Amino acid sequence: MGRVRVRPDPFLVLLVLTVGVAALVPARGTAADVADGAVTAAIALLFFLYGARLSAAEAFSGLRNWRLHSTVLAASFVVFPLVGATALLLPEWLLPAPLATGVVFLCCLPSTVQSSIAFTGIARGNVPAAIVAASVSNVLGVFLTPVLAALLLATSGGFDAATFGDIALRLLVPFLAGQAARPLIGRWVTAHRSRLVLVDRGSILLVVYTAFSEGVVAGTWRTLTPLSLGVLLGVCVLLLAVVLGLTALGTRALGFRSADRIAIVFCGSKKSLASGLPMAGVLFGGPAAALVVLPLMLFHQIQLMACAAIANRLGRRREHLDNPAASGAPSRT
């Protein structure tokens, strides 16, 4: 089995370029108002398409392996938020409040879909279970992420629980509308998935541009120091390492078979950039939003690099165990 080369995520490169454009040519005045309106429409369209794509009935019908799926959900929406909430305990001179808020927010997000499935496949894990687990995580994340963010951040001033009406209007209503329209447009959406990815990514880039523009205009970036960036990097690496370790040890203690353990580790340790950036655009307004999304963007690249290496190692190990003769090792008798 060939090695998995760890390369920067092309979409993350586009995100970084978008940040650069926002730094050089931020939206101001009327342009900023137009961008805000475009973001509102783009997020509504994005979550409408999410709803039209996701077959909730199929996802929930696959929950027969309830132990596996409940373990993934516990990792995503219980373990991750509890571990991430410790970032709020760091003094602000080490980790400014918007960055700490961003760390907690990313911990409340659902799992990724594509990369969780891909890495599970590379590691020779239970791919069908990974598909269901990641899909269910995304369906529930639309509802659970705002609730968890409110519970963990309301007391720290990082989240205003009174915005739930706005959340329902801008996230839940389009998502439910997409679910309702799925019988009519589901096949068309599936057939044109590759083209609609451009809508997804364009919407996310617009969210990032608007958030970082506001931060540049307000001078938010002047509050960010090399020390804060270094601490944030360390926090993201430590967070991923802790969750990977807990899921690996926990699944072994719970007696899951190897293929299921792999699916749980990869689905339970990921956080979705595609869902997170639009949600942040709704939950966190103002110039500070640029700093709030920074931990998610950084964590996304770290998780891809680390999990690619882990998946490659696990895949080679399982290939060796399944076919020892091919690797030159003596076969077991």
Task: Write down the pLDDT at residue 213.
Answer: 81
d(CA 96, CA 101): 9
Task: Write down the pLDDT at residue 84.
Answer: 92
d(CA 71, CA 56): 19
**Residue 2 maps to a domain:** no
For the chain, the farthest-separated pair of C-alpha atoms sits apart, in whole angstroms, at 75
Query: 172: which DSSP letter?
Result: I
**Residue 202 maps to a domain:** yes
Kindly state the tokens that stand for 47. 């979550």
Q: 10: exposed, middle or buried (C-beta count within 10 Å: 0-12, 13-18, 19+)?
A: exposed
Kindly state the tokens that stand for 322. 């399944």
For residue range 299-316, what is the model confidence (pLDDT) as tens digits?
A: 987 888 888 888 888 888
**Residue 4 maps to a domain:** no
Domain span including residue 90: 10-316
Task: Write down the pLDDT at residue 1.
Answer: 44
Task: Write down the pLDDT at residue 326.
Answer: 47
**Residue 3 maps to a domain:** no
Cβ-Cβ contacts under 8 Å for 41 (sequence gap 6 or more): none
Kindly state the tokens that stand for 248. 């690996």
Among residues 49, 98, 106, which one has the least CA distance to residue 77? 106
CATH number, domain at 140?
1.20.1530.20
**Residue 322 maps to a domain:** no
**Residue 45 maps to a domain:** yes
User: Amino acid identity of 88?
Assistant: L
Among residues 271, 278, 275, 332, which one has the least CA distance to residue 298? 271
d(CA 111, CA 130): 10
**Residue 115 maps to a domain:** yes
Among residues 210, 230, 250, which one has the least CA distance to residue 80? 250
Task: Write down the pLDDT at residue 267.
Answer: 93
Tens of each residue's pLDDT in the chain, 333 residues: 445 455 556 766 787 888 888 888 888 888 888 888 887 888 788 778 877 876 666 656 556 778 999 999 999 999 999 999 999 999 988 998 889 999 999 999 999 877 788 888 888 888 888 888 888 888 888 888 888 888 888 655 545 545 556 666 677 788 888 888 888 888 888 788 777 777 777 877 887 788 778 777 767 667 778 898 899 999 999 999 999 999 999 999 999 999 999 999 999 999 988 788 888 877 776 666 778 888 988 898 788 888 888 888 888 887 676 665 544 544 443
d(CA 271, CA 106): 7
Task: Write down the pLDDT at residue 8.
Answer: 59
d(CA 32, CA 48): 24
Task: Write down the pLDDT at residue 58.
Answer: 60
**Residue 321 maps to a domain:** no
Task: Indicate the number of domains in the chain.
Answer: 1
The count of C-alpha atoms lying within 13 angstroms of the C-alpha of 213, restricted to the half-sphere facing its C-beta, is 23
Among residues 132, 136, 130, which one has the least CA distance to residue 115? 130
Q: What length does the chain have?
A: 333
Task: Write down the pLDDT at residue 20.
Answer: 85
